[in-house]
């Protein structure tokens, strides 16, 4: 397979994989979301009351509410503060990775794909936590967030950096790196990745 054929097949497979990913809502990211659902209320008990999954949204319900425009403890509030997270901003790495992986036609494809998917779920868990911390920091105010929890939290700058890294870089770069790792022991793909595939193909003609 030449590089051009591979790219064409990737683009072709993206259509059904992304359609399936969109139709399934939050299900492709479910393991990462379930872990977030369990960890956040445990790690931030004074801030997070519970975490719910609704469609493709992750809804973080806090221990705070608002009265007028003032953030107050939930018992004193007119309504509860909750922060939604669109899981698709993180989980689109899955159909992208699937298109790259299954276009490669390598041995042990399903096993390799499962290992890569596990890594993506771990990265998505880190991403959901990072986005949630950013939402809490902006929605509640940094002082309230740090004063309310006894769990050590990153600085505001670190949270902002983690948020950008998790939403802008990881979903696009991680699938490519995982695909490259999965085909590293294939002589054909190693040659192709090193830029030798086009020369070999030309010589074979």
Cα 149 to Cα 132: distance, rounded to the nearest angstrom? 14
In the chain, which residue ranges form alpha helices assigned H by DSSP?
3-23, 30-43, 88-91, 93-102, 109-140, 142-148, 156-164, 170-182, 187-193, 197-204
Q: Which of 36, 97, 92 is nearest to 61 (CA)?
A: 36
C-alpha atoms less than 13 angstroms from C-alpha of 79 in its C-beta half-sphere: 5
> 26 and 58 in contact (C-beta within 8 Å)?
yes
String of DSSP letters for 6-25: HHHHHHHHHHHHHHHHHHTT
pLDDT < 50: residue spans in the chain? 197-205
Return all residues near 148 (Cβ < 8 A) that are at least 6 apart.
Answer: 46, 47, 63, 140
For the stretch 99-157, pLDDT in tens is: 999 988 777 778 889 999 999 999 999 999 999 999 999 988 767 888 888 888 888 89
Give me the pLDDT at residue 87, please: 94
């Amino acid at each position: 397979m030449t590089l051009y054929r591979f790219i064409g097949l990737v683009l072709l497979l993206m259509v059904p994989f992304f359609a399936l990913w969109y139709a399934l809502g939050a299900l492709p990211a479910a393991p990462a979301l379930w872990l977030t659902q369990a960890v956040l209320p445990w790690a931030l008990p004074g801030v997070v009351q519970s975490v719910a999954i609704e469609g493709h949204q992750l809804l973080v319900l806090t221990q705070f509410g608002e009265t007028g425009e003032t953030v107050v403890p939930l018992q004193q509030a007119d309504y509860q503060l909750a922060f939604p997270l669109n899981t698709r901003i993180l989980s689109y790495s899955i159909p992208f990775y699937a298109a790259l992986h299954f276009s490669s036609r390598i041995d042990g494809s399903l096993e390799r794909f499962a290992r890569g998917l596990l890594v993506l779920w771990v990265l998505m868990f880190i991403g959901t936590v990072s986005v949630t911390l950013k939402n809490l920091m902006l929605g509640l105010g940094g002082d309230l967030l740090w004063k309310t929890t006894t769990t050590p939290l990153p600085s505001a700058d670190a949270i902002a950096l983690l948020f950008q890294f998790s939403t802008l870089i990881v979903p696009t770069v991680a699938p490519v790196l995982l695909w490259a790792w999965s085909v590293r022991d294939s002589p054909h793909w190693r040659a192709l990745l090193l830029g030798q595939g086009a020369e070999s193909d030309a010589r074979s003609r």
